[in-house]
Structure 1
Amino acid sequence: MSQFNRRKFLGLAGALSVTQSVHARYGLPLLPPPDRDDGLTFRVLAFHDIRDDLRADVDTVADTCAISTATLNNIFAWLKGNDFHPVSVDQIIASRGGGAPLPARAVLLTFDDAYQSQYTKAFPLLRQYNYPALVAVVSSWTNASAQRPVRISHKSVMPSGYFMSWSNLREMAQSGLVEIASHTHDMHYGAVANPQGNELPAASTHLYLAALKRYETDAEYEGRVGADLKQSADLILANTGVKPRSMVWPYGMYNAVLIGASRKLGMHVHFTLDDGPNTPDVPLSKIRRLLVSYDWDAGIMLGQFRQQSAYRGDSEPVERVVNVALDDVYDPDPERQEARLSRLLDRIKDLEPKSVYLQAYHDPDGSGTAQALYFPNRHMPVRADLFSRAAWQLITRAGVQVYAAMPVLAFRLPAGHPAAARLVVAAPAATTPRDGSGPRQRTRLSPFDPLARNTIREIYDDLARYTSFNGIVFGEDASLGMDEDAGEAALAAYADWGLPRGLAAIQADPELLRRWSDARLEHLVRFTGQLADAIKDYQGGGNVLTVRSLPADAVLRPGAALRLAQDLDVFAARYDFVNLMAYPDPGGGAPPAPWLDSLAAAVAAHPGALSRTVFALLTLDARTRAPVPSTALRAQMERLRVAGAKHLGYCPDQFMAGQPDLAVLRDVMSMQNLVRPRVGIKA
Structure 2
Amino acid sequence: DVTAISNKIRAVTGKAPRVWVWPYGAADGTSLAVVGEQGYQMALTLEDGLDSLGNLMSSPRFLVASDPDGEHYANAIVATQTEAPLRVLHVDLDNVYDPDPEQQVRNLDKLIQRVVDMGASTVFLQAFADPKGDGLVRSLYFPNRHLPVRADLFNRVTWQLRTRAHVSVFAWMPVLSFALDSKLPRVTRWDPQTGKVAIDPDQYQRLSPFDPKVRQVIGEIYEDLARTSAIDGVLFHDDAVLSDFEDASPLALKAYAANGLPDTIEALRADPAVMQRWTRFKSRYLIDFTHELTAKVRTLRGPQVQTARNIFAEPMLNPGSEAWFAQNLDDFLTSYDWTAPMAMPLMEGQDLKGSNAWLEKLVAIVKARPGALQRTVFELQAKDWRTSAAPDLDGAQMAEWMGVLKRQGVTSFGYYPDNFLENSPDLKTVRPALSNQWNP
Give the TM-score, by structure 1 length.
0.58
Q: Is the deviation greater in 597-606 or in 395-404?
A: 597-606
Pairing partner for 1:271 from 40, 44, 47: 44
1:502-581 aligned within 5 A: 502-541=264-303, 543-581=304-342
Structure 2 unaligned segments of length 5 or more: list them.
195-199
Work out whether residues 600 and 645 of structure 1, in 8 Å CA contact, stay in contact via their aligned partners in 2: no
CA 1:580–1:245: 2 relative to 1, 3 Å:
closer
CA 1:630–1:263: 2 relative to 1, 3 Å:
closer
Amino acid at match of 2:358: S
Give the Cα separation in 2 of the matches to 1:442 and 1:366. 11
Partner of 1:314: 82
Amino acid at match of 1:612: R
Give the Cα separation in 2 of the matches to 1:599 and 1:670. 20
Work out whether residues 412 and 420 of structure 1, in 8 Å CA contact, stay in contact via their aligned partners in 2: no
1:234 Cα offset (Å) = 4.2
CA 1:477–1:391: 2 relative to 1, 3 Å:
same
Amino acid at match of 2:427: L
Give the Cα separation in 2 of the matches to 1:448 and 1:672. 45
Provide Cα deviations, 1:250-292, integer angstroms capped at 9, x if missing partner: 2333344323323444444433345544433234xx0513164
CA 1:627–1:277: 2 relative to 1, 3 Å:
closer
Give the Cα separation in 2 of the matches to 1:561 and 1:258. 40
Give the Cα separation in 1 of the matches to 2:352 and 2:44. 51
CA 1:374–1:580: 2 relative to 1, 3 Å:
same
The structure with the largest alpha-carbon Rg is 1
CA 1:410–1:585: 2 relative to 1, 3 Å:
farther
1:611 Cα offset (Å) = 3.7
Structure 1 unaligned segments of length 5 or more: list them.
1-227, 432-437, 675-683
Work out whether residues 52 and 59 of structure 2, in 8 Å CA contact, stay in contact via their aligned partners in 1: no
Query: What SS does the corresponding residue of 1:379 show, helix, strand or coil?
Result: coil
Q: What RMSD, in angstroms, separates the aligned Cα atoms of the two structures?
A: 2.8
Work out whether residues 51 and 59 of structure 2, in 8 Å CA contact, stay in contact via their aligned partners in 1: yes
Asked whether 1:280 is paired with 2:53, we answer yes
Amino acid at match of 2:342: M
Query: What SS does the corresponding residue of 1:667 show, helix, strand or coil?
Result: helix
Partner of 2:394: 629
Asked whether 1:464 is paired with 2:235, we answer no
Partner of 2:249: 487
CA 1:357–1:365: 2 relative to 1, 3 Å:
same
1:587 Cα offset (Å) = 6.4
1:81-160 aligned within 5 A: none
1:383 Cα offset (Å) = 1.1
Q: Which has the higher contact order (CA 8 A, sep 6+)?
A: 2
Work out whether residues 85 and 412 of structure 2, in 8 Å CA contact, stay in contact via their aligned partners in 1: yes
Provide Cα deviations, 1:614-661, integer angstroms capped at 9, x if missing partner: 332222222223221112222222233334443321111111111111
Partner of 2:414: 649
Partner of 2:426: 661
Give the Cα separation in 1 of the matches to 2:193 and 2:160. 47
Work out whether residues 209 and 215 of structure 2, in 8 Å CA contact, stay in contact via their aligned partners in 1: yes
Amino acid at match of 1:494: Y
Give the Cα separation in 1 of the matches to 2:175 and 2:17. 41
Amino acid at match of 2:187: V
1:445 Cα offset (Å) = 1.0
| Greater per-residue helix proportion | 2
Matched length:
428
Work out whether residues 210 and 255 of structure 2, in 8 Å CA contact, stay in contact via their aligned partners in 1: yes
Give the TM-score, by structure 2 length.
0.88
Query: What SS does the corresponding residue of 2:226 show, helix, strand or coil?
Result: helix
CA 1:533–1:374: 2 relative to 1, 3 Å:
same
CA 1:323–1:287: 2 relative to 1, 3 Å:
closer
Give the Cα separation in 1 of the matches to 2:170 and 2:90. 10
Provide Cα deviations, 1:402-450, integer angstroms capped at 9, x if missing partner: 111111111112xxx3x7532111114379xxxxxx9961211111111
Provide Cα deviations, 1:131-174, integer angstroms capped at 9, x if missing partner: xxxxxxxxxxxxxxxxxxxxxxxxxxxxxxxxxxxxxxxxxxxx
Pairing partner for 1:614 from 350, 364, 377: 377
Partner of 2:114: 347
Partner of 2:126: 359
Work out whether residues 332 and 339 of structure 2, in 8 Å CA contact, stay in contact via their aligned partners in 1: yes
Pairing partner for 2:93 from 294, 317, 326: 326
Asked whether 1:583 is paired with 2:344, we answer yes
Give the Cα separation in 1 of the matches to 2:62 and 2:300. 20
